[in-house]
Amino acid sequence: MEIQNVGVIGAGQMGNGIAHVFAQSGHNVLIHDVSEEAMANALKIIEANLDRMVSRERITEAEKAEALGRITTTGDISEVGKTDLIIEAATEKEDIKHAIFKSLAPHLGENTILTSNTSSISITRLAAATDRPERFMGFHFMNPVPIMQLVELIRGIATSEETYQLLAGVVDKLGKTSASAEDFPAFIVNRILMPMINEAIYTLYEGVGSVQSIDTCLKLGANHPMGPLELADFIGLDTCLAIMNVLHDGLADTKYRPCPLLVKYVEAGWLGRKSNRGFYDYRGETPVPTR
């Protein structure tokens, strides 16, 4: 089976990045979102990112135009069902993901492959609620998608070897590197990354260090490109909390308990960069620590 037409459900930060890399690698991409505004914004972001690549002479104007020409949008989810490969990139809430796959079910082609870009939720559980668990897999891109080289491939208990090998080939065509992860809560990257971020928040919560000192220590002391609190804001504090809850619920170990300060920030609507406030305030010219 050749993957040529790709459906991306969710036009947010991850969805538009996934659409970008597939279009740039020669695939036809159909973006679906419940919000027309989100889809229009996604196209603007993709074009701006391609413009940046042109300015850096990584692609030509003609290649940019070709990539943009391969992307269309639709508010009708039934249209997405006609594609060869569907990548669900909606918010990290299991009930929403189940609702999406349920609404897709009557419209799917016989050989359509379903995937989820979930960063933590059980692939086996998501797949079991569909009519094709053998053609369902976790397809976890890293953020920002056009820059990050890794894609985690997560097999559910029923995922066929054919599906796995086909998607590994797709990752190769995108010019990225795949890594195989077992279907346990948060897989590999977030199983390691999120507890580190959560511990950094505990370090702030307990007064061991300020936002600035914690981020400086990890950037200069561990050679991280971003401090853990800066990174949490970039990811989205609501997403960080959702993943920590999946780890805590799925592994039943107190070491994964979300820091109360993380919970408080999310309850306040301080979700990081996307809401202009998190561990930093982004409303001015320069981000300023909020604690």
282 shares a domain with 142: no
Q: Is 251 exposed, middle or buried (0-12, 13-18, 19+ CB in 10 A)?
A: middle
Whether residues 200 and 255 share a domain: the answer is: yes
DSSP 123-169: HHHHHHTSS-GGGEEEEEE-SSTTT--EEEEEE-TT--HHHHHHHHH
Q: Which of 122, 153, 182 is the last residue of a domain?
A: 182
- What was the pLDDT predicted at 1? 79
Same domain, 156 and 248: no
Give the residue numbers of the binding site for NAD(+).
10-15, 33, 92, 97, 119, 143, 274
Give me the number of domains the chain comprises: 2
- On whether both 208 and 70 belong to a single domain, the answer is no
Looking up residue 36, the CATH number of its domain turns out to be 3.40.50.720
Q: Are strands 136-141 and 177-181 parallel, antiparallel or unpaired?
A: unpaired
Clarify whether residues 169 and 210 are in a common domain. Answer: no
Q: Are residues 158 and 21 in the same domain?
A: yes
Q: Are 142 and 200 part of one and the same domain?
A: no
Q: Which of 163, 182, 201 is the endpoint of a domain? A: 182
Question: Do residue 229 and residue 257 come from a single domain?
Answer: yes
Residue pair 10/90 in contact by the 8 Å Cβ criterion: yes
Query: How many C-beta atoms lie closer than 10 Å to residue 230's C-beta?
Result: 25
Domain end among 149, 182, 215? 182
Which amino acids are annotated as binding site, given as ranges?
A: 10-15, 33, 92, 97, 119, 143, 274
Residues with catalytic roles: 119, 140, 152, 190
- Cα atoms in the 13 Å half-sphere on the side-chain side of 283: 6
- Mind listing the pLDDT tens digit for each residue in 71-127? 999 999 999 999 999 999 998 899 999 999 999 999 999 999 999 999 999 999 999
Shared domain for 217 and 91, answered yes or no, is no
| pLDDT digit string (tens) for the chain, length 291 residues | 799 999 999 999 999 999 999 999 999 999 999 999 999 999 999 999 999 999 999 999 999 999 999 999 999 999 999 999 999 999 889 999 999 999 999 999 999 999 999 999 999 999 999 999 999 999 999 999 999 999 999 999 999 999 999 999 999 999 999 999 999 999 999 999 999 999 999 999 999 999 999 999 999 999 999 999 999 999 999 999 999 999 999 999 999 999 999 999 999 999 999 999 999 999 999 999 999
Task: Using alpha carbons, select from 157, 100, 90 the residue that is nearest to residue 130.
Answer: 100
Residues 16 and 37 in one domain: yes
Same domain (yes/no): 118, 136: yes
Does residue 196 share a domain with residue 168? no
Query: 257: domain CATH number?
Result: 1.10.1040.10
Domain enclosing residue 37, as ranges:
5-182
57 CB neighbour count, 10 Å cutoff: 7
